Amino acid sequence: MINDKVMQEISIHVHTILNEIINAAGLSSGQILVVGASSSEILGKHIGKATSLDVGKIVIEAALAATKDAGVFLAVQCCEHLNRALVVEMACAEAFRLDLVSARPISDAGGACAAAAYEAMERPVLAEHIAAHAGVDFGDTNIGMHVKFVQVPFRPTINRVGEAHVTALTSRPKLIGGVRTKYE
């Protein structure tokens, strides 16, 4: 069992990191932020070996609060057992014409954070793929496949949530053209 002080710290760190990435990426209302998180890694265990729905709920509550404040869609990556599908609100799926899949994440197949997101969202669905505008990874879950090209690494001021390593990506439009091209 994890104590309340640690759970509060996890919540604060997740919220802070998501606010940083939202600001650094310049995300605007209606854009997508993908989150991948291993509750096992947050607890200092090997990914997939100590799943905790309590940790998943704390992470998702903080993530939903941060994204809601910014008007940004949250996409939560499932684990490999669901082929890294993503939990999103139906409004996000409709806005971005996402391909949906028939599954429901649970702690043992999808992961604690994805299961918690599915429970916490108003109209959750699973999307097969997504091209998010930015992403954060708590515990090396490899969210890069879900962040649109061109990806730009971002280092948040907090580099650990619990015991989990934190990585983040923003994205930018492709730079095309030659020597005569003017860029913004």
Phi, psi of 86 (to 5 degrees): -125, 135
Residue pLDDT, tens place only, 74-125: 999 999 999 999 999 999 999 999 999 999 999 989 999 999 999 999 999 9
The whole-model pTM stands at 0.94
- pLDDT given at position 182: 82
pLDDT in tens, 30-59: 999 999 999 999 999 999 899 999 999 999
CA pair distance 85, 12, nearest whole angstrom: 26
Q: What is the 3-state secondary structure (H, E, C) of 40-104?
A: HHHCCCCCCCCCCHHHHHHHHHHHHHHHHHHCCEEEEECCHHHCCCEEEEHHHHHHCCCCEECCC
Residue 1's pLDDT band (cuts 50, 70, 90)? low
Name the residue ranges covered by the structural domains of the chain. Answer: 4-171
Assign a CATH topology to domain 4-171: Rossmann fold (3.40.50)
